[in-house]
Structure 1
Amino acid sequence: MTNPIQIAIDGPAAAGKSTIAKIVAEQLGYIYIDTGAMYRAITLKAINEGINMASNEEAGELLLRTQIDLEPSDNGQLVFMDGEEVTEAIRTQQVTKAVSEMSAHALVRERMVELQRQLAESRGVVMDGRDIGTDVLPNAALKVFMSATVEERAQRRFADNQVRGINTPLAELQEEIAARDKMDSEREVSPLKQAEDAIYIDTTDLTIQEAAQKILTLAQERMA
């Protein structure tokens, strides 16, 4: 007999969090919650409505009148904003470049964290993001902080973009990822950092399956 647990996976952009978290959730029969997609959705709406990204009040008010839903499907998790599917729309370069600024606002993070905690309540869940182990699920049974070199993460983002038909140069992606690391780590509200009780996994030289297996092994130990 095993007990369902909460698994928090944190790390910087393009560390492989979402892909690995999905595998872990599927293997365990858990719910997967992509918090990054939630922040991307509200960023997309801010762009579409011309909201001042620098305004904490405008960003917070926008989130209050926005419905964000995550739904599983045969093709992976679908993201809906106000009833409209935006799974692919939130992955554009325009959203990617703006999401750190939008997610840094105190009102946005406060309201997102509340929603994310509600989604994770009383169930086995795998949640990934940048402040899951430190803020959203501080009592999670398993916390993992994963990363890789900036060069490796840029290569991964480049390959992913090629599949999506996005042709941003590799050097530009490397600069963007380094800049986002700095912004996420230095923001005042819930900065990106490793929780004291999180286990660090360097995915630079690991395959997706190898990294997922490491987390699955750790999860099984805590579920016993």
Structure 2
Amino acid sequence: MDEDDPYVVAIDGPGGSGKGSLALRIAKILGFHLLDSGAVYRLAALKVLDQGIDLEQEASVVSTLQNLDIRFEIGEELSIPFLDGQDVSTEIRQESTADAASIIARYAGVRKHLLGWQQACFQAPGLVADGRDMGTVVFPQARFKFFLSASVEIRAVRRYKQLIGMGISANIDKLQAEISERDERDRNRTESPLIPATDALIVDSSLLNLEQVAELVMSHIEETIENRSW
């Protein structure tokens, strides 16, 4: 395989681990396309919420998503999500949307419907994909796989700062409880549970900033390509 062949960098981890910011940084460095899988599910959840559909009714949820119109643009610090042609950056960052996304992500019909859309994002020159099952389900043959982790406390603080920075009110204790509950749901769901790929490099970002994690990831990628160890 030539080093110039398109390849996937899969970055998985729980919410608040820093995988989204890392994916954006790595995509810019490599000049690759970017897939924010978590945002895909939040956009799907927002569509369902906007339609007033009961989140517990799987058939209705799946039916609503048949006409899902979403796209992304790469911004300076975040990917910009569009639903039905509208910028919904603020809406998908609400905790209610994140919780709804975690609920509908349990459904096999939802995951199957969104799987093809996500896989179609892999185009030349390459793709950086972040989510919860990028390296295990969506791109199991990804050349590079990383799994980011961080303590619940650290992730709650990061989430708090992100929300406040966007002008959204937040409470640290509530965020910590919601993150813990979401982790439990994501780890124990039947469809694509949140687990590291067996061949993923696990990185604890609790005590590292974005630049340090990005440097670690890029060093691994560059060293692997240099040694042709794939």
TM-score by length of 1: 0.95
Q: Which amino acid aligns with 2:7?
A: I
Q: Is the 8 A contact 2:33 2:123 kept in 1?
A: no
C-alpha spacing 1:223/1:123, structure 2 compared with 1 (3 Å): same
Q: Deviations over 1:82-138 (max 9, x none)?
A: 222212221112212221002211111111111100111454110000000000000
Q: Say if 1:179 and 1:42 are closer, same or farther in 2 by CA, change over 3 A.
A: same
1:216 matched to 2:213? The reply is no
1:96 to 1:200, Cα distance in 2 relative to 1, 3 A: same
Q: Assess, with a 3 A threshold, how the Cα gap between structure 1 residues 73 and 169 changes in structure 2: closer, same or farther.
A: closer
Secondary structure in structure 2 of the residue aligned to 1:32: strand
Distance, in Å, in 2 between the alignment partners of 1:205 and 1:152 is 9
Superposition deviation, residue 9 in structure 1: 0.3
Between 88-97 and 33-42, report the one with greater CA deviation. 88-97
Given the two structures, how large is their TM-score scaled by the length of structure 2?
A: 0.92
The residue that corresponds to 2:167 in the other structure is 165
Counterparts of 2:207 and 2:177 in 1: how far apart (Å)? Answer: 21
RMSD: 1.5
1:90 maps to which of 89, 92, 103? 92
**Hey, what's the Cα distance between the residues in 1 that align with 2:216 and 2:148?**
11
- Equivalent pair of 1:10/1:17 in contact (CA under 8 Å): yes
**Farther-moved stretch of structure 1 (210-219 vs 74-83):** 74-83
C-alpha displacement of 1:74: 5.2
Query: Partner letter of residue 128 of structure 1?
Result: D
Could you tell me how far apart the structure 1 residues matched to 2:142 and 2:18 are? Answer: 20
Give the whole-Å Cα distance in 2 for the aligned partners of 1:120 and 1:155.
33
* Alignment partner of 1:141 is 2:143: yes
Aligned match of 1:24: 26
Q: Partners of 1:215 and 1:82 in 2: how far apart?
A: 34
Rounded Cα–Cα distance in structure 2 between residues aligned with 1:63 and 1:221:
41
Match status 1:205 vs 2:212: no
Q: AA paired with 2:154?
A: E
> 1:218 deviation in Å?
1.4
Gap runs ≥5 in structure 1? none
- Could you tell me which residue of structure 2 aligns to residue 72 of structure 1? 74
Q: Which residue of 2 aligns with 1:14?
A: 16
Q: Is the 8 A contact 1:5 1:223 kept in 2?
A: no
Structure 2 Cα separation of the partners of residues 139 and 81 of structure 1: 29
1:187 counterpart residue number: 189
What letter matches 1:157 in structure 2?
Answer: R
Q: Equivalent pairs: percent with the same residue?
A: 34
> Partners in 1 of 2:51 and 2:33 — Cα distance?
31
Task: Say if 1:10 and 1:131, in contact at 8 Å, map to a contact too.
Answer: yes
Structure 1 segments, 4+ long, off by >3 Å, are 73-76
- Give the Å deviation of 1:217: 1.1
Ranges in structure 2 where 5+ consecutive residues have no aligned partner: none
Q: CA offsets, 1:183-208, max 9 Å, x none? A: 00011101100110001000001011
Q: Describe the SS at the equivalent of 1:6.
A: strand
Between Structure 1 and Structure 2, how many residues are aligned? 224
- Secondary structure in 1 matching 2:120: helix
